Amino acid sequence: MVRMIKRTDMTKSKATSIRLTAVVLALLCSSLFILIMGHNPVKVYISMLSGAFGSKYRIIETMKVAIPIIIASIGIMVAFKMKFWNIGGEGQILMGACFATYFALYFNHLPKPLLLLLMFVAGLVGGGLWAVIPGLLKIKYDTNETIITLMLNYIAIKWVTYLQYGPWKDPNAQGFPKIANFEDSAILPKLFGLHIGWVIAIVIVVIVAVMMKYSKWGYNISVIGESLDTARYSGIKINKVILTSVFISGGICGIVGFIQASAVDQTLTAHLSAGYGFTAIITTWLSALVPAVIIPVSVLFAALVKGGSFIQTAFQIPNSASDILQSMILFFVIGSEFFVKYNLVFKKGGQNG
């Protein structure tokens, strides 16, 4: 018989050793898979690192993936802190991009700083309002926010697709269903060869980290996450905190949509979110809901993605095999969190107690 017991003796050093062991096991298991495919594991791992960080261009490309993951992870973290399971990052990113695109298309005569500011605010509002929908349903009808936020992702995708084929279809695209590319006034500038989304990401991480640790709002979120009864007895206005927090959570994800639409795609498409909303769920958990840890975890995850793409070409490894390698590493790393929080106790059948 096996029982799970919540650990009470876990220290930072023990947790670190468990996670490092998981990484070593992941590399060993992946090495066996690579050997079966007929390649040298050491060369493959070196190539993955080279594919992600081997040149200035590759570093920039890796950071282009890391930036939306970092920001979306911060947004998801805000909701997760109070145990509101926001799985709707994808939809919130798309709706943020949609709101920002409206200003990019119809207000492109404005000065660039003003237009970008309007797009930023619109992205935040769009993502925030999309997240408030499941928040209101949770408060009023006690619905399952996991299901509602997940379903809203698909509604957002279909809405953007409708805009592509309908009202916002570019008349100059020769019948192709696309939205017009943004004018220069709606495109984020670059700093050190990379769009300034990286500056926005750092600012958001710092602000949220400070707010979560030192503000009354951050304290209220933590209390609600620990116990609704405690929050209620403490006089915390639970519904207000929930709505405010999910708006902020979705709004931060919406900022990702603004950045991707403005700096990367330079238009709005249904594929703009590129799975970053789902990826952020993984990186948020791996960072243990700690804002400062989200940055390195997201960068490493982006490196895994870009490195996996690189070895497909370098070693003629199929895309499916590359995905398996990434999945094996993630499986071990994420699985280690179980052993950080729980201990398995084995007992012989028939014993009491």
What confidence tens digit (pLDDT) does each residue in 233-253 have?
888 899 999 999 999 999 999
User: Which position has the higher pLDDT, 29 or 2?
Assistant: 29
What confidence tens digit (pLDDT) does each residue in 327-347 have?
887 788 778 878 877 777 777
Longest Cα–Cα distance of the chain, Å, equals 78
Total-model pTM: 0.89
User: Which position has the higher pLDDT, 312 or 137?
Assistant: 137
Sign of CA dihedral 116, 118, 119, 125: positive
Half-sphere exposure of 269 (CA within 13 A, CB side): 13
The region that residue 319 occupies, defined by phi over 0 for left and psi between -120 and 50 for alpha, beta otherwise, is alpha
The rounded distance, in Å, linking the Cα atoms of 222 and 209 is 13
What confidence tens digit (pLDDT) does each residue in 5-23 have?
877 777 778 887 888 888 8
The rounded distance, in Å, linking the Cα atoms of 173 and 41 is 46
129 SS3 class: helix
Q: What is the pLDDT of residue 348?
A: 67
User: Which position has the higher pLDDT, 172 or 114?
Assistant: 114
Q: Do residues 105 and 179 make contact, with C-beta atoms less than 8 angstroms apart?
A: yes
What confidence tens digit (pLDDT) does each residue in 186-227 have?
999 999 999 999 999 999 999 999 999 999 999 999 999 888
Percent of the chain residues past pLDDT 90, beyond the cut: 60
Residue 288 reports pLDDT greater than 90: no
| Mean predicted confidence (pLDDT) in 279-305 | 90
Band (266; pLDDT cuts 50, 70, 90)? very high
Residue 152 reports pLDDT greater than 90: yes
pLDDT, mean over the chain: 90
* Low-confidence winner among 39-53, 282-296, 317-331 (lowest mean pLDDT): 317-331
| Mean predicted confidence (pLDDT) in 255-264 | 96
Residue 72 reports pLDDT greater than 80: yes
In the chain, DSSP finds a helix count (H) and a strand count (E) of 13, 4
Of 242, 34, 13, nearest to 145 (Cα)?
242
Residue 91 reports pLDDT greater than 90: yes
| Mean predicted confidence (pLDDT) in 89-111 | 95
Q: What is the pLDDT of residue 148?
A: 95
Q: What is the pLDDT of residue 257?
A: 96
Q: What is the pLDDT of residue 353?
A: 44
| Sequence spans of domains, the chain | 64-303
